[in-house]
Structures are given as structure tokens and as C-alpha cells.
Structure 1
Amino acid sequence: MLSLLLMGTSCKQQEKEPPKPNILWIIADDLGTDLACYGTPLVKTPNLDKLAAEGTRFTNLFTICAVCSPSRSALVTGMYPVSINCHQHRTHFKKPLPDGIKPVTVYFREAGYFVCNGSVTDLNRPGKQDYNFIADSNMYDGTEWTLRKPGQPFFAQVQIFGPHREFQRDHQNPVNADSIKLPPYYPDHSLARQDWALYLENIQLVDRQVGEILKRLDDDGLTDSTVIFFFGDQGRPHVRAKQFLYDGGIRTPLIIKWPGHIDRESVDTRLISNIDLPITSMVLAGIEPPDYIQGIDFLRTADPIRNAIYAMRDRRDETVDRIRCVRTENYKYIRNFYPDRPYSQFNAYKKHQYPVLTLMQVLYKRGELDTIQARFMASERPAEELYDVINDPFEINNLAGNENYADILEEMRGMLDEWLEEYDKGEYPENPEEIAYWEKTMKENFKERMASRGLSSDISDEEFLDYWNRHLTPTVKENQ
């Protein structure tokens, strides 16, 4: 369990105010819990494994949304996106945050912190923000911690693009696609295994970038005075993961290290939401959080802080949808507000970036998917889904119609209803002009993206699959 030694300071120590710790968020983009230290075979993540060995590894961090902009809007405010009208992805006609709501960077700055946000590939370049609200131009003081005043504590974010698509190759440690074991909801096809292998290779590239950040921190003599958080903004960039509320889409790693204060080689299994990260960081910095923040500090106690986490999906670019879920330690309940729409309704981003989507669409037409795989390609979906996440971690056996689980279904319906009533203040239906803008924008974007590949946007699924089979080349099997 987690123990914060800072809570047990002696009276003599309290006579002098301890220096404020630096807070460092290292944020990967589209990262599931597919690290070696989380038990994933084939992938090599020595830097993150070392970080976990020197700190605490959390196994149940869930993001509010399984896509960037609402998740990051939540992360920088400590608020559910539906409570601040930041739940769509993305928003063209942006508005300021509601009255009284401020980014957490404001509170850190008021407490004397230097606040910065940089890109791992070039710390002179601002890091990804992607917020669904109008942000002040001075939201950050700079891009890296070396720009602060002497002795000034910092709250820094370093953004890592990977393993977001498009995937890059790891030629140092290629992953053998033939050794990949896919989740049962994907077809055991060479293209699908190759795509997954490339995902793992990109995690390895992320690991190296994390190593570079940690080395720089150490070279600057800041390791012992810095609380390091490593996590992802959402889960895997795969067909039945990103954008959706299965664990593959909303579960991400969390590793925290603070030498002398946080237990080494510890594992924490409590349910945590990514809106809990801002308030926890503020408390570590000695900042009194505002009352409106909806997250919960999880480092002042080793006891459970939540009996459930909640997650949401709404429009993703041009694709209109609305899904909500509640997840406890044992069960997940999903409510689909548009059961007449397919899970795989057209989304330009996913269509041009996810080869397995086209593969599954072709195999579905041919009748070559099994029952589990075909479910995700069907023309409609159930209004409710209930999963035993302990015995069914892939979430493939829907128990919503099982009489033996009627009491659990009713209980979780009630939990979600209460949450919707208290927190879900989003605008429904959305402004038609916003939807029309994204339909037009993504149509043009899809056409341009396909043209860059020498393809027509009207290409058939069969032709597009042929393209992927020719261009997604097998990984090199050397050094395996």
C-alpha cells in the first residue's frame, strides 16, 4: 500500500516549512496498460519498469473519456467534461470555462510555482494542450523547467506523442508479430497481429523518451525534490478501445515516484479517475484546492477513495454518439443512448488510421468473423451492457439480459442515473452548426489523407484492405 512519509513529520521538522516539491506530469498519448511492468509480454520498457520499481504502480487508473480533448480538459481542471461543457471531441466554437472554474495551472502559479508544458521531442516547443475551452494565452509560463527563477518550484507537463498513430518502427527492438496473442474480439489475422506489434514497438519508443526526461531531471539535480507522475491521456489506439468505454479505451498506466516519500516497488489497486490527478498534485504542493473540483486526493490515505469510476463518450469529430458507463471493482455497466447506430459508424480518423477496422469490415461482409468479433461490426448495439470485469476482462459476455444478474444491473443503473443527474450538464442536442462544421472538415481531411497515400476517398473496403496488406510490412524478426 501507499504511505506518504510527509504526513508523519515531527514537531521539530514542522518548525521550518519544508521546500515545496516540484510536480512533473509525463503524459503519453493513447497508452493502455501494455507495459512490461504491468505483465505484458514481448514489449521492452526498462525505463518505466525502473520507475515503477522506485515508486508505486497503480493498476486501476481510468480516464473520464477515451479521446484526447475532453480527457485533457478534465485533466487540467479536475472536472468532469460534461459538467463544464467540454465533452465533445473536438469543439470548433469554443467557449470560456464556466464562471469560477479555472485551470489548475492558475492555482499553481498563485502558489509561486513556475508552470510549463513542453514536447518531449523539443522542450523549446509547447506541448500538446487540445482543450475544449478558450484557454488564456498565458496559461503556461514556458515550455521547460530550466526557464524558472532560481529556487522556484515547478509544475511541469512533458507531452509524449506516442503511441498515438501513425505508428513508427522500433528498429532496435522489433516485436515479432507471429508471437502476438490478440484479444478475442479481434480476428487472429496477420494484419491485426502486425498492427498490434507496431503498437508495442511504439510503447518501446515512448519508454526511451521517458528515459530521456528522467535523465535530464537527474542531470539537473532535481530527482529527489520532484514528484513524478507518468500516465496516459486515454487507452489504446485500437478499434474497440480508443473512443469507446471498454477498459481498453479508458484504462491507462499510472506510476508515481517521490524518493523518500512514496513506497518503492508498491502496487496500488484502488479505483482512481484521471480527474483525481490535479487535486492530488495540488495537495502535494501545499495548495488548498477550490471546493468545486470534482476529483479526490488519493495520496493522503491508503483507503479506497471511490466505489466506482464514471466515463463518457459523445461526438468524436463528425461521429455523433452518446455512451455512459459506471465501473466498480467487479462490474461495468454501459448505457448506449443510440442503440440503433453501429459501434463502427463512420469516423474519418479511425478509417484512415486503423487498418484493423477495414480488415474487420471486409471479414464481416464475408462472414469470416466469429460471434464475438462480429458483434462490433453489427448494424445496431444493445441499449445496455453489463460485464463481470474480474472473470471477463475482455468484456465480451454481456450479462444485461441474464436474470442471475438482475439485481446488479438494477443497482448499477441507479448509480449511473444518480451520476447523470448530478454531473451530466452537457448540451444535448449539440449545436447543429458544430456538427456540420466537423462533418465538412473531416470529409475534407479524409480526402486529403487518402490522396497522400495515392488513394481515392471513395475506395472500397476491399481495395483499402489490399493497400494495408501491401504497406503494413512484417516486422523484422532479428534479435528476438
Structure 2
Amino acid sequence: MQKKCVLGVLTNKGKVLLIFSCLVFAFSACKKIKENTKETAKPNIVWILLEDWSPDLSCYGTKGIHTPFTDQLAAEGVRYTNAFCTAPVCSTSRSAMITGYHQNYIGAQMHRTAKEDKKPLPQGIFPIPVLLQKAGYHTALMKSNKTDTNFRDALGFQSDDWDNRKDNQPFFAQITLTGTHRRWRRDTDNPIPIDSVELPPYYVDSPFARRDWANGLEQMQLCDKEVGEILQRLQDENLTENTLVILIGDNGRCHIRGKQFLYDPGIQVPLIMRWPAKIKKGSVKKELVQTLDITATILDVAGIKPARPLHGTSLLDQNRKERSYIYAARDRMGKTHDAMRTIRSKKYKLIHNLMPERAWLQYSGYKEDNYPILAEMSVLYLEGKLNADQAKFFAPTKPEYELYDIQKDPYELQNLADDKGYADIKTQLLTDLELWRKEIKDEGVTEEFRNGGLSANYPTRTLEEWRARYNAWKSYVNRAPDDPGTHPFSTTEQ
């Protein structure tokens, strides 16, 4: 009997072969569709923000700390060694990052601007979640609802988790890890011994100072576990391949000479990016980068062109020109009035102190209620026991200009501003700094601002008062890893 090529009359063997062939064809077609979808779909974007954190991670070579999940992220992507924010405190830095423009340009330079004093953004400037929404993204603000911006406009976040997106909708998630903001928890699984850490030379090297420093590193180890949970969730949900993950700090470390100031520990931040589809694994880049470049990168990969040119450029742009300088500015911090501007190349940094008559350590409730080392070093300063480099930051006034050779003097201790051998360098940097200030419409310092705010003087307390605060800190700083401790002071959040 002749066989017919019709399924209903095929032999069992023929049916099996035909069904198998159809399945193979269908599988190949589905695979091709899936591959094409992967290639053409907009990427998801996960932006992890560490609070108050410099590049103090094991992948950056910091001694004593162990951050395996962040190290893994760096090994699977690119790590930048010269990344800087635009301001040394959260609200001004975040205002710049969420829009892509320097905070002075958009009128957001005063830290923690009161609600009634906040102004709308200039015409044509929008927070990036608003732009991403219009481009079809679901925007989520996760883990922490902290945004801290100094303008009136709504930021454009739609929910508190990327799970709330529609089917096949790309998402943008900003995730702030708040632990590294003072107060710090200790790491019971991996406590850090004080003899394994290294302090900068402008700190007194005491067991108390080492313990406070190590406590901060332990808190970062706890945040590293949170990074691991985020990466694992992306893996579990099959999102890793087409998700751009960005990890940065919002400003530098919350220690003396760090946060609130324009030395590198106040403005240098970690920057790690992973996007398996686009970024080469294990890359390390030494080019100068600003956090504004992250904003430009996010909008670039989402296919968005803002109405106004951004102040940053996409790090994934093959035609990107390397920066000659990064710029940063500091203005009011709460009720503490001061103003500084900086320009930094890979080799030199110039800081212009616009209010040199004020002490670096003029009164700030945030610092005095949160920095144990400040209490210890204030006692030693008033007792005349600090060395020359340690004592510099405790002076009653500042020089108008500070010039540092970063390559020779990475801790920024030898001010070359009055050195005739560096006169031409100072002139060039100051000229370029002033051009930048004009570009961002920097209004400088009014007399009202100069004469306002809290006391401009240091010391802010008597020796006896500083001793009392130092003693109050001791049990809290030296607490056991499993002891949450009782913070000795009511703190001012900054």
C-alpha cells in the first residue's frame, strides 16, 4: 500500500519523524526570535547608590575590608579609578546626578534647601526618571525612599519595585544602600581587626581611630551582601544579560577631611558598571569621570536625547573625548555657611576657598555628633599633640587657594599655591576654573551669605568639653560586633 504524506495516514514512525522535525523548526524559530528580542530590546538599568562612600572596597585595594560581591561586579564589568561627584554631600550631588547638570546651574547647590525655598528646574530640564518614563520605562525607587534633591519638581518614580512593570517593559531602578551613612553597624560574620587597616597620615594613628575606621569598613561589608542579593535576584529572574548595573557613591566618605570638603576623600567615589551584552569583563579605566557621565550613559542606552545638552557624556560613546578636568563645588551645608570650588586634572588640583576667613571645622552639628575621630583629634589639637600634617585642618582660617600635585602628594597636604615654581600651573587652573564657573552660572558668595550661618570659628568647644565628648564616644566605638550599642548623641542627619 502506498504511503501518503498526510499526518493522518502516516505510519507511526513517519509521524514521529514529522513531529520531531516540526519541533526542531519551532525551537529554532523561537530561539531566533528570542535572540532578536535580546538584541533589540532596551536594556534594564539598575543604579546602586552607596551613601557617603569613597572607593574603600577590596577591589580598589583598601586594606582590611572584604567585599566579594562588589568585587565580582567589577570582575564582570568595568571599574573606574578616577570617578568624582560634583559636590561633597548628598542632596547637592544627587540633584546633579538625577538631572545631568551641575547643581549650581540648576539652582540646587544649597544642601538641604527648605521645602518652601526650593525652585522648579530650569525650562527644558527634567529628572531622568521622568524622561525614562516617556521612553517607555517603568521607574522604581527601591530599598530606600531617600532622594534628597534641592528642587521642586517631582522625580518621576512610579513604584517601589521593578516587579510592578508591565510584561516585557524595560525598567529603571534606583537603589540606595543607606547603611554606610553614619550610624554604622558592625559585621558579626567578619569583624575587622584594627591592625589590618591603614589610616591616612592626616589622622592620629590610635586604637580608637583605627576602630572607628574599621567599623565603617565593616558596615560596607554588610552593604556588600546587599549588593550580592541584588545581583542574585537579577540572575534568578533571567535579567543579567540585558541589564546595565551601575554602582557608585553619592559623595565621599563621612570622616574628617572627607564629606563636605573638596579633597579627594570628599568627592572621589567608586564607579563600577556591568552590562554583559556591551561591556568587556574585568576592564579597569583610569580616565577622569564625573557622576554626570553616569546620567548621560543612562539616557544614552535608553535612546533618549534631552532638550538641553547634558554636562556629562556617555561612558559607552565610542567617540567620547577624555576629560581634561573634573569640577566640584561646595556651598551651604545645613546652617553652616562656606563656599569652595575645585578643578582637578590627573596630576594637579586647585581649590579656591571663597570664604577663607572661616575655619574648615567651623561648627557643624552633623560632624560633631557623628565623627568620633573629630573629638579625639580636637582634644589632641588643644593639647598641642598633633603633628604638622594632622593639625593643618584644625587651623582657625583657610588659605584662599590650595594647589596640590596629586601624583606626588596624593593626600593633599603640601599646598603649592604660593610656590613660584608652580605659578603658571596655578594661573592656568584658575583661568579654566573661572571659565567653568561662568558656564554653570555660579553666582559665588553674597555678603549676606558671607555674614550668615552658624559660628565661623574653631575651636567650637573648650578642651574640657571636647574631652567629655571623646569619653562619651569610647564605649560606642569599641562595642563588640554583636552589640548594637547606644549612640551617645542625638544626631543631625546630613
TM-score (norm 2): 0.85
2:371 to 350, 354, 358: 354
**Unaligned stretches of 5+ in structure 2?**
1-34, 456-460, 483-494
Percent of pairs with identical residues: 42
Paired residue secondary structure (2:141): strand
Where do 1:61-210 residues align within 5 Å? Answer: 61-92=83-114, 93-119=117-143, 127-136=145-154, 139-210=156-227
Structure 2: how far apart are the matches of 1:474 and 1:372? 30
CA contact (8 A) 1:113 1:152 kept: yes
Aligned residue in 1 for 2:22: none
Distance 1:428 1:342, change over 3 A: closer
Q: How does 1:34-433 map to 2 (within 5 A)?
A: 34-92=56-114, 93-119=117-143, 127-136=145-154, 139-301=156-318, 304-426=321-443, 428-429=445-446
Counterpart-to-counterpart distance in 2, 1:291 and 1:345: 38
**Contact 1:177-1:474 within 8 A present in 2 as well:** no
Residues 125, 308 of structure 2: 8 Å contact kept:
no
Q: Equivalent residue for 2:13?
A: none
Deviation at 1:362, TM superposition (A): 1.0
Distance 2:92 2:106 in 1: 10
In structure 2, what is the Cα distance between the partners aligned to 1:86 and 1:290? 19
> Which has the higher mean CA deviation after the structures are superposed, 294-303 or 402-411?
294-303
Residues in 1 aligned to 2:107 and 2:233: alpha-carbon distance in whole angstroms: 38
Q: How many residues align?
A: 440
- Give the Å deviation of 1:471: 2.7
Q: CA deviation at 1:179?
A: 2.8
Task: Kindly indicate whether the alpha-carbon contact (under 8 Å) linking 1:79 and 1:293 is maintained by their aligned counterparts in 2.
Answer: yes
Distance 1:14 1:216, change over 3 A: closer
Q: For residue 14 of structure 1, report the CA deviation from its aligned partner.
A: 9.7
Q: Say if 2:470 is the partner of 1:465.
A: yes
| 1:260 Cα deviation after fit | 2.8
Aligned to 1:3: none
Q: By how many angstroms is 1:16 displaced?
A: 11
Q: CA deviation at 1:116?
A: 1.0
Q: Where does structure 1 differ by over 4 angstroms across 4 or more consecutive aligned residues?
A: 13-17, 456-459, 474-477
Is the 2:354–2:445 Cα contact (8 Å) retained in structure 1?
Answer: no
Q: Distance in 1 between matches of 2:123 and 2:443?
A: 16
Aligned amino acid, residue 121 of structure 2: L
1:14-53: CA deviation from partner (whole Å, max 9, x where unpaired): 9997110111101110111111111112100000111111
Distance in 2, matches of 1:83 and 1:403, equals 34
Report the RMSD for the aligned CA atoms in angstroms: 2.4
In structure 1, what residue type is equivalent to 2:95? S
- Structure number with greater CO (CA < 8 Å, separation at least 6) is 1
**Structure 1 stretches lacking a partner, 5+ long:** 1-12, 120-125, 441-455
Q: In the alignment, is the contact (CA less than 8 A) between 1:174 and 1:475 conserved in 2? A: no
For residues 351 and 106 of structure 1, the distance between their equivalents in structure 2, rounded to whole angstroms, comes to: 38
What TM-score, normalized by structure 1, do the two folds share?
0.87
Contact 2:339/2:445 (<8 A) preserved: no
- Paired residues for 1:4-43 under 5 Å: 18-43=40-65
Residues of 2 paired with 1:196 and 1:365: CA distance? 22
In the TM superposition, residue 469 of structure 1 has moved relative to its aligned partner by 2.1
Does the 8 Å contact 1:271/1:304 carry over to 2? no
Q: Secondary structure at the match of 1:227?
A: strand
Q: Distance in 2 between matches of 1:260 and 1:225?
A: 6
Match of 2:17 in 1: none
